[in-house]
Every structure is written in C-alpha cells, then in structure tokens.
Amino acid sequence: MSTAPKAARPGDEIAWREAVMHLYKPTDPTTGVIVKNEPCTAGKKSAGFVRHIEIDVSGTNLVGQCQPGQSIGVLPPGVDTAGKPHKLRLYSLASPTGGEDGAGKIISTTVKRTIDEHWDSGKLFLGVCSNFLCDAQVGDKVSLTGPSGKKFILPKDPGNHDFLFFATGTGIAPFRGMVMDLLRDSPRSRVALVMGSPYATDLIYDRVFRDLAAKHPSFTYHTAISREDNAGQGRLYVQDRLRTDRAALEPMLTSGRTLIYVCGIAGMELGILQELARTLPPSALEHYMEVDPAARADIGSWNRSMLHKQIHLTRKVLLEVYA
Ligand code: NAP
C-alpha cells in the first residue's frame, strides 16, 4: 500500500543544532565534581526546595559537548531495598552551551528535592537521587552519564527566529541556558520567557531573569503565579499570560519567526495550545498547529489524547513535559 507524501508544513525547513549523545553510558559512567550547590528559588521560605548545582567535568569527554535542552544522567551511590544499585536519573541541563565557565567545563542542573509520604505506611519518603544531589557538598564526586536528548534544542540559525518559552517549576532549567545562549549569540532574536509557579517565593532563577531583562531590551520575562494574586490580575497559569500580556506576546506569535518551547508539568501544553487556538488568527495559528474541523469547533473540550491525532503540531512547537 502506498502512502502519499505528507505536505510540507511550517517549520519542516528548520535545521536544528546537532546534539552529541551518550558519550557515557550507565555501564561506563564518568565522574564529575560538585563545585556549587545553592538554593535558586526566589524566597528562602519556598514551598519546595530547589537547588542550582554546578558540576566540574574537566578531563572528561563531556567538556564542551552539553547543550541546553539535553539532560545528563546521575547514578546515585548505594543500593535499593532489593540490594541492587540505584537506577539512573536524568536531569535537564541548566547551563548554556559554553557551560558556567565559558569553556564547557562546568555544567549545571536544577534539582528539586522529592519529599513525599509512602501511600501505605504514611511514613516519610525522600527521593534518592534528588536528595543525594541536594545534600552534596562542594568537592563531592558524582557519577555521570550522557548527554542525552536531541529533540528539544535550539535551531542552528537562531537569528532567523524569535523564541517564546513557557516553563513551570523545574521545567525552567533548559530555558536558563537557552536564554543565556540567545542573548549572547543572537542579537536579532526576540526572546520571551513565561514562568509559572505556585507562589512567588517558588520562582526559580527569578533574580537571574530579572537582571537579564533589565540588561537586554530584546528579552522579556513574564511570571504567572497560580496560588496568589498577580498584581490585581488574579491567579494565573502560564497560558493566561497570552491574554494578559497580549500586547507583548502577540506580535511575536503573528510574525512567522517564532518558535514555541514548553517545558514542565504534563498538562500545561494543552492549556497553551487551547489559548493559542482561541486567540490567534488562522494565518498565525497555522505556523503552530493544524486542527481538525470538529476539534476546532470545540476548543474547550480538548484533551491530551487528541494531540497528534486531531491536533497536529508543526515543528515550530517543541514540547518537553513530564508527569
Ligand atoms: P511546581 O513548582 O509545582 O509548579 C508547577 C506550576 O504549574 C504550578 O504553578 C501549577 O499550579 C502549574 N500547573 C499545574 N497544572 C497546570 C496546567 N495544566 N497548566 C498550566 N500550569 C499548570 O513544579 P515542579 O514541582 O517543579 O514540577 C515541574 C514539572 O516539570 C515536573 O513534573 C517535572 O517532572 C517537569 N520537568 C520536566 C522536565 C523535562 O521534561 N525535561 C525538566 C524539568 C522538569 P497549581 O499547582 O497551583 O495548580
């Protein structure tokens, strides 16, 4: 049976950066050294504990080979309750392509402590790897794999594009590095970052982004606090900023240059896509998605299972969402 070739869609022509993959595998990891470990939430009394952790990878093949949007793997020491070595955990890189040092020797990531209760016993549960990393002291060694991931990265020619980043929680990690890369290397690009968190004290890298926005007129930073009032605008999710900050964001969305990146909690992508479908004129919407007529007629009833079936995203929308 022959299938007709799919028609070219917006974004198919974009050339993406090449990503180096799997220099170190779990069976043959390398070792990095913690050189910084500090809180990175806006308030000391944040509801969650999130830390910015820098790792020196000097002398390994990881030097200069890690880019924002990729992950590194961490093998925590010790064994699980069955006596087996703990499994690998992946963490998004927060560093720009040149690393924290400009030479690619210091990479960074953003780690939230996993703190929970066991469902059955009601006893405290502490995530193994996140707490190992958050407790790590400067000078401690860490077993690393990676890098991994090649789909959530910047294009080869960023100057041809503007960038609209949506993050919730630790989903901010890749955008720290991407924003730094773009503001350094791509003066023609406009960059907007919309960051969502439960409380203002939970905003991650808030000072970093405020400072960058003050220095770079091409960069705007928009926060959406979901459990507190936002300067008289009520409680907001990231997608609500498409409405409240329309004057700043819509010109980017209608220009045809913009790539949309979404990273964070699973479900956030749906609200963003619905808001785009409700507000953008068809000539702008077609840059980002093609929607079957029945779905277009009832945007309020969209659910995640419709993605890629009734809602077809173009390559100008990049999603990295985790439950
Ligand atoms: P968090 O601090 O709890 O913040 C999440 C924010 O998103 C809250 O303000 C929450 O609001 C809001 N939210 C919940 N449902 C939403 C929806 N449907 N649409 C829009 N906003 C919504 O976040 P976190 O604990 O750091 O979790 C971040 C998530 O990102 C995790 O699931 C993590 O696995 C994922 N993540 C993914 C990657 C990746 O894919 N590479 C990297 C890092 C993190 P309310 O709670 O008030 O409803």
DSSP of 215-265: H-TTEEEEEEESSS--TTS-S--GGGHHHHTHHHHHHHHHSS-EEEEEEEE
Instruction: Verify whether ligand 1 is closer than 6 Å to residue 170 (CB atom).
Output: yes
Best mutation site among 202, 204, 240, 265 for ligand 1, i.e. most ligand atoms within 8 A of its Cβ? Answer: 265
Local confidence band at 154 (pLDDT 50, 70, 90 cut-offs): very high
Instruction: Verify whether ligand 1 is closer than 6 Å to residue 202 (CB atom).
Output: yes
DSSP category for residue 25: B
Contact 133/75 with Cβ under 8 angstroms?
no
> What is the radius of gyration, based on Cα positions, of the chain?
20
Instruction: Verify whether ligand 1 is closer than 6 Å to residue 267 (CB atom).
Output: yes
- For 227-249, what is each residue's pLDDT tens digit? 999 999 999 999 999 999 999 99
Residue 4's pLDDT is: 47
Average pLDDT over residues 265-287: 96
Give the H/E segment covering residue 128.
Answer: helix 128-135
User: For the chain, which domains are there?
Assistant: 30-148 (2.40.30.10), 158-322 (3.40.50.80)
Distance 174 CA to ligand 1 centre (A): 14
- In this predicted structure, the answer to whether residue 3 has a pLDDT above a threshold of 70 is no
Residue 233's pLDDT is: 97
Contact 92/173 with Cβ under 8 angstroms?
yes
Residue 200: name the closest of 36, 41, 34 by CA.
41
Average pLDDT over residues 208-228: 98
Rounded to whole angstroms, how far apart are CA atoms 83 and 7?
53
Average pLDDT over residues 178-190: 97
- In this predicted structure, the answer to whether residue 323 has a pLDDT above a threshold of 90 is no
Average pLDDT over residues 278-290: 96
Local confidence band at 7 (pLDDT 50, 70, 90 cut-offs): confident
Instruction: Verify whether ligand 1 is closer than 6 Å to residue 173 (CB atom).
Output: yes
Residue 237's pLDDT is: 98
Angle at 269 between CA 265 and CA 273, to 5 degrees: 165
Residue nearest to atom 46 of ligand 1 (CA): 198
Contact 258/161 with Cβ under 8 angstroms?
yes
Pairing status of strand 106-112 against strand 50-56? antiparallel
Rounded to whole angstroms, how far apart are CA atoms 310 and 71?
30
Rounded to whole angstroms, how far apart are CA atoms 299 and 280?
13
Q: Express as a percent the part of the chain with pLDDT over 70.
A: 98
- In this predicted structure, the answer to whether residue 5 has a pLDDT above a threshold of 60 is no
Local confidence band at 47 (pLDDT 50, 70, 90 cut-offs): confident
Residue nearest to atom 44 of ligand 1 (CA): 171
Residue 285: name the closest of 240, 245, 250 by CA.
250
Residue 145: name the closest of 264, 79, 49, 55 by CA.
55
Distance 172 CA to ligand 1 centre (A): 10
Q: What is the mean pLDDT of the chain?
A: 96
What torsion do the CA atoms of 315, 252, 211, 214 make, to the nearest 10 degrees?
160
Instruction: Verify whether ligand 1 is closer than 6 Å to residue 68 (CB atom).
Output: no
- For 169-182, what is each residue's pLDDT tens digit? 999 999 999 999 99
- In this predicted structure, the answer to whether residue 284 has a pLDDT above a threshold of 90 is yes
Instruction: Verify whether ligand 1 is closer than 6 Å to residue 11 (CB atom).
Output: no
Residue 1's pLDDT is: 42
Instruction: Verify whether ligand 1 is closer than 6 Å to residue 264 (CB atom).
Output: yes
